[in-house]
Structure 1
Amino acid sequence: MAEALTIPLPVGDDKAHKSSLEHSQNDSLESIERIKEIDPDIERRVVRKCDWWVVPAPTIMFMLSFIDRVNIANAKIEGMVTDLHMIKHDYNIALFIVFIPFILCETPSNMILKRITPRVWLSFLLFGCGLMAICQGVTESFGGLVACRFILGIFEAGISPGSILLITMYYRREELPRRICWWYMSGTVAGAFGGLLAYALANMSGVRGYGGWRWIFIIEGCITVVMSIVMYWWLADWPADCRFLTPDEHKVLMWRLMDDSEGDAKMNRVNWSRCAKDWKVWIAAVMYFGIVALNYSTNNFNPTLLKELGYTSAAAQIHSIPLYVVASAFCLATCYLSTYVNSRFWPLQFGVLLGSVGFIVLLAQKSTAVGPGIAYMALFFITSAGYIVQPMVVSWVMNNASGHYKRAFTSGTMIGLGNAGGLVSSNVFFQEEAPYYPTGYGTSLALLILTSLAAVVFCVGLKRENARRDAGERDHRLQLSDSDNLGDDHPSFRFSF
């Protein structure tokens, strides 16, 4: 391997950022060439270590927080509604209240994460999620449930964008989709494991005078609290401060990230105006909005829908497990396919098509002879579609955001505003429309199509912007006072599809 050069990546604290800028200004063409001389065996070892140390902890953390957010669906069919005297649309209110702090807090949380090490901030957020889950299990009123879920939303707001931001900082752009897919698959594991765990915990009904639905919240919350303590020691910090690589491996990590296609397209100082004026951020939020509505529809209502197909509460919990097992297989297969064909756009559209077929089948239940078996198959299509499209959207968008602050703003804004889809999905499934739910299924289908159309706009816009940069129409930006802090607005940056 060539002699090591110290080239810090601008992902740590402010001192690291200043050092990075000073070194990057002095990099010579010779040093760039020497990057190509890295021993491939050492580089593979670095990537393998990142896969073991960087991805698993945020994945488990997301899975736990996800279970704490959606286990209300399991609790609903185990007696929660009766015990808390919930009527009419109270369940919908309990669902959507969590998304208000999501919208307000996700971008600020990412900016805090930029100032605090990930293992401190993210483990603190996970601890709060577990604590609020326990509180949901001991509350005695509907008002208490709503208050707990609102606070739960504050803690959970930063976990998804923070986890995505942390993972994106360790990998090259072409390596990112597969890791994002692994991370998102924890949602399918959460759905399957949550159903199985809820089935087991429901049998604790009567222990210490608590109903089975309370134990679902309490036990799952306690698991999250314990794991939040583990996360403090397990989570990786920013690449400049990572603890799991040897000094030589750490230099290789810095080299390969500096040699990535980001090039001069850095944003190491926050530029609110430039971030807010980027059309890609807002189209990304629209794409995410549509698919989040579908995913929350399935996660929050699948147990109820299964029960209304004629299953008992226990059978509904069990029959929800295969939905997520199949969704995991689709998620993983589509991810590897998208890497093979080097495209996020077409796998995304395949997921939209699959989900659309499922919704059309369910919408046709009332007017055709669609039996429970066909309706159950449609739920497989819909659940799988969500876990195909959502990781495609996130990896595609993050591949086209460059610079630490730009990625932080993009992930926080996309997920924060996009989670407004949860507000919609929580308020379109009306009990009086059971078991056909035309408003719920029709709205979810429309929002899925919205994701497809937004993806077309995103793709066409990226191609046109690449063409303008190839023609030199963006070179004037090099004369701007902040030309060293343009992020993906830098003329040298090229977008991927």
Structure 2
Amino acid sequence: MATVIYIPNRPHSPITLLPVLHSSAFCYLPFSRAPRIFSLFTTLSCWHQSAMAEALTVPLPLADEKARKSSLEQSQNDSLESIERIREVDSDIERRVVRKCDWWVVPAPTVMFMLSFIDRVNIANAKIEGMLTDLHMVKHDYNIALFIVFIPFILCETPSNMILKRITPRVWLSFLLFGCGLMAICQGVTGSFGGLVACRFVLGIFEAGISPGSILLITMYYRREELPRRICWWYMSGTIAGAFGGLLAYALANMIFIIEGCVTVVMSIVMYWWLADWPADCRFLTPDEHKVLMWRLMDDSEGDAKMNRVNWSRCARDWKVWVATVMYFGIVALNYSTNNFNPTLLKELGYTSAAAQIHSIPLYVVASAFCLGSCYLSTYVNNRFWPLQSGVLLGSVGFVILLAQRSPAIGPHIAYMALFFITSAGYIVQPMVVSWVMNNASGHYKRAFTSGTMIGLGNAGGLVSSNVFFQEESPYYQTGYGTSLALLILTSVAAVVFYVGLKRENAKRDAGERDHRLQLADADNLGDDHPSFRFSF
């Protein structure tokens, strides 16, 4: 008969268990103590077996399970009493914990995303500074160089998040950033179009894990109503990157790739000490503050809605993940359109290369203001759906103006205003989508799967946006603008489906129609499928 052996993990750490066949017994070992080669093999094996296989679990005998739950409940009661005593002695401790998280958790991923984003989109600035001539690029070569990066994006983001679950964020994310900087430098020294494509493909492998990993790390530290503002701060680094990209391109010209890549490499080393680890192992809180942090997180979202063991089948069957992916797919296509083509579109309006770089800066400054304002508004009204739809409306107006450029009434200044609309719309909608979806994913593995799948597959929107702006359609780009508008509307429709679906699911849970899940074999590992979990809007 199979037996179950539990080996204690370190204090406060969620116990992640790895099945290891040993003689006639199944020994469950903390993953952190398993050999690294075996952990990597297990991660890759799970992914390549369609990432859909049901995770195998070995249930405890009923008596042992009841004893474990009784012990857990007693521990939670003791912890709650301890938290109450701490709060009585120090009434400001909870506010101090949030403030420390804001200083220690959010800034490092924000800077990291900004640097990786610059390394990815600075090709748009290099294009109008003579890259096409230097590398003898013709026809659709630029489009190929853009979309090649999204292939590894789609393939590697979810596996990267699974690896991140097993490796401390500061190790894995700083390694990925180092790779991004190295590939950016290689783009600057390559002398051929083939070399550029190869560098950008490898860049995509490193870039793939940074966005979902950063989002996952930030979401683990905050309550659901606090999350949109922090995601907004993180996304604003993209607008800052867009503005700095234009400014640096104006100043650096042909050295864009090399200088920006060197900065990224240096900062990746800094990130090893700057990035926070998971909440259970955070280094910047006192023991009492750490207790308050863990209590806040448990009290807010999870409770019984945990997923501390990977369950591919349950994650993959969740309709919310796939609707979220469609939402993200639509809006990311718009953002990549603006990031990859804004300098070109500005040059088509009659600006010189230098003037186009400078005129791209205000687009992102205004987008930052819209991003910040919409996120604070969504936090104030505790709603993500309506700010999202307002961003869709703003972007739709911009695309309609651009599609009507052939009209004498639409001059260069009106078209420039439309670029403000569509750039701002992208930075209103995308953080709304991400924060809304992550608010409604519960359990560590479920959040990792959701963010990785949504961002990984959703980045296929970049494949689309890279291949719909044709040089022969310049300066009107009917195909590019029309496709981007259609995908923006797709985001709006998917958001409606998501909203209605969450409403119906909450109603069913209120009526007890999901209580039967408590009788399932994985009742302690349901994530947000748990009947007690309620979705937010």
TM-score (normalised: structure 1): 0.92
After superposition, the Cα gap between the structure-2 partners of 1:203 and 1:165, relative to the gap in structure 1 and judged at 3 Å, is closer
Question: 1:67-146 residue pairs with structure 2 within 5 A?
Answer: 67-146=118-197
Q: Describe the superposition over 1:62-85 as per-residue Cα deviations: whole angstroms up to 9, x where unpaired.
A: 000000000000000001000100
Q: Would the alpha carbon gap of residues 475 and 143 (structure 1) be closer, same or farther in structure 2, given more than 3 Å must change?
A: same
Distance in 1, Cα, partners of 2:145 & 2:57 = 52
> 1:9–1:20: 8 Å Cα contact kept in structure 2?
no
Label 1:229 to 1:25 Cα distance change in 2 as closer, same or farther (>3 A): same
CA contact (8 A) 2:53 2:313 kept: no
Q: Deviations over 1:362-406 (max 9, x none)?
A: 000013421000000000000000000000000000000000000
Once superposed, which parts of structure 1, at least 4 consecutive aligned residues long, lie more than 6 Å away?
Answer: 1-36
1:219-257 CA-partner distances (Å, limit 9, x unpaired): 000000000000000000001110111111111111111
Change (3 A) 1:19 1:82: farther
User: Following TM superposition, by how much is the alpha carbon of 1:477 offset from its aligned partner in structure 2, in angstroms?
Assistant: 0.5
CA contact (8 A) 2:86 2:288 kept: no
Q: Check conservation: 2:404, 2:410, Cα contact below 8 A.
A: yes
Residue 479 of structure 1 and its aligned partner are, at CA, apart by 0.8
State the Cα distance separating 1:258 from its structure 2 match.
Answer: 1.3
Change (3 A) 1:17 1:71: farther
SS at match of 1:37: helix
CA spacing shift, 1:272–1:23, aligned 2, 3 Å: farther
Answering whether residue 425 of structure 2 is matched by residue 385 of structure 1, we say yes
- Of the structure 1 ranges 419-428 and 368-377, higher mean CA displacement relative to structure 2 is found in 368-377
Checking the alignment, whether the CA contact within 8 Å between 2:349 and 2:412 is kept in structure 1 is yes
Q: Over aligned residues, Cα RMSD in angstroms? A: 5.7
Distance verdict in 2 for CA 1:69–1:203, change over 3 Å: closer
Q: Is the partner of 1:481 in helix, strand or coil?
A: coil
- Per-residue CA shift, 1:462-496, capped at 9, x if unaligned? 00000000000000001111111100000000000
What 5-or-longer segments of structure 2 have no aligned partner?
1-51
Q: 1:43 to 1:428 in 2, by over 3 A?
A: same
Shift of 1:36: 7.7
Counterparts in 2 of 1:469 and 1:30: CA distance versus 1, 3 Å: farther
**SS of the counterpart of 2:301?**
coil
Q: Residues 91, 309 of structure 1: CA spacing in aligned structure 2 closer, same or farther, 3 A cutoff?
A: same
SS in structure 2 of the partner of residue 80 of structure 1: helix
Q: Residues 64 and 8 from structure 1, CA distance in 2 versus in 1: closer, same or farther, beyond 3 angstroms?
A: farther
1:261 is paired with a residue whose SS is helix
Cα deviation, residue 22, structure 1: 8.3
Report how far residue 261 of structure 1 moved: 3.1
Distance (Å, rounded) in 2 between the aligned partners of 1:369 and 1:348: 30
Aligned mates of 2:433, 2:92 — CA distance in 1 = 32
Task: Tell me, in whole angstroms, the C-alpha distance in 1 between the residues paired with 2:247 and 2:426.
Answer: 21
Change (3 A) 1:50 1:17: farther
Change in Cα spacing, 1:3 to 1:400, as seen in structure 2 (3 Å) is closer
Q: Secondary structure at the match of 2:88?
A: coil
- Conservation of the 8 A alpha-carbon contact between 1:9 and 1:257: no
Q: In the TM superposition, what whole-angstrom CA distance separates every residue of 1:440-474 from its partner, at most 9, and x where no partner exists?
A: 00000000000000000000000000000000000
How many residue pairs get aligned? The number is 486
Say whether the 8 Å CA contact 1:35–1:255 is kept in structure 2.
no
Are residues 244 and 363 of structure 1, via their aligned partners in 2, closer, same or farther at CA, if it must alter by over 3 Å? same
Structure 1 residue 263 displacement after superposition: 1.4
CA distance in structure 1 between the partners assigned to 2:185 and 2:441 by the alignment: 37
Q: CA deviation at 1:259?
A: 1.1
Residues 1:85 and 1:379: Cα distance change in structure 2 (over 3 Å): same
Greater C-alpha radius of gyration? 2
Q: Deviations over 1:289-330 (max 9, x none)?
A: 000000000000000000010000000000000000000000
- Asked whether the equivalents of residues 53 and 312 of structure 2 are also in contact (C-alpha less than 8 Å), the reply is no
Assess, with a 3 A threshold, how the Cα gap between structure 1 residues 365 and 480 changes in structure 2: closer, same or farther: same
Q: Specify whether residues 4 and 157 from structure 1 end up closer, same or farther in structure 2 by C-alpha distance, changes over 3 A only.
A: closer
SS across alignment from 2:347: helix
1:134 CA drift (Å)? 0.2
Q: 1:295 aligns with which of 335, 342, 348?
A: 335
CA contact (8 A) 1:35 1:256 kept: no
Give structure 1 stretches of 5+ with no counterpart: 205-215
Task: Give the distance between the partners of 1:335 and 1:197, measured in 2 at CA.
Answer: 28
Change beyond 3 A, Cα 1:376–1:35: same
Distance 1:297 1:35, change over 3 A: farther
For 1:341 and 1:255, the matched residues in 2 are separated by 25
Question: In 1, Cα distance between the equivalents of 2:455 and 2:60?
Answer: 26
Q: Is the 8 A contact 1:57 1:235 kept in 2?
A: yes
Could you tell me whether the CA contact under 8 Å between 1:8 and 1:254 is conserved in 2? Answer: no
SS of structure 2 residue aligned to 1:307: helix
Q: CA shift at 1:15, angstroms?
A: 20
Q: Which moves more between the two structures, 145-154 or 16-25?
A: 16-25
Structure 1 window deviating more from structure 2 (259-268 vs 50-59): it is: 259-268
Distance of 1:450 and 1:456 partners within structure 2: 10
Q: Deviations over 1:318-353 (max 9, x none)?
A: 000000000000000000100111100000000000
Distance 1:264 1:396, change over 3 A: same
Contact (CA 8 Å) 1:178, 1:335: kept in 2 or not? yes
Q: Separation in 2 of the partners of 1:166 and 1:290?
A: 24
Q: State how far apart, in whole Å, the 2-side matches of 1:145 and 1:132 are.
A: 10
SS in 2 for 1:259: helix
Is 1:412–2:463 an aligned residue pair? no
In terms of mean alpha carbon deviation, does 261-270 or 65-74 score higher? 261-270
Shift of 1:7: 25
Shift of 1:114: 0.4
The TM-score normalised by the length of structure 2 is: 0.85
2: CA distance between counterparts of 1:264 and 1:367?
59
C-alpha displacement of 1:172: 0.5
Note if contact 2:215-2:451 (Cα within 8 Å) is conserved in structure 1.
yes
- Residues 441-450 or 33-42, more deviating: 33-42
Aligned counterparts of 2:193 and 2:53: Cα–Cα separation in 1: 65
Which is worse superposed, 139-148 or 361-370?
361-370
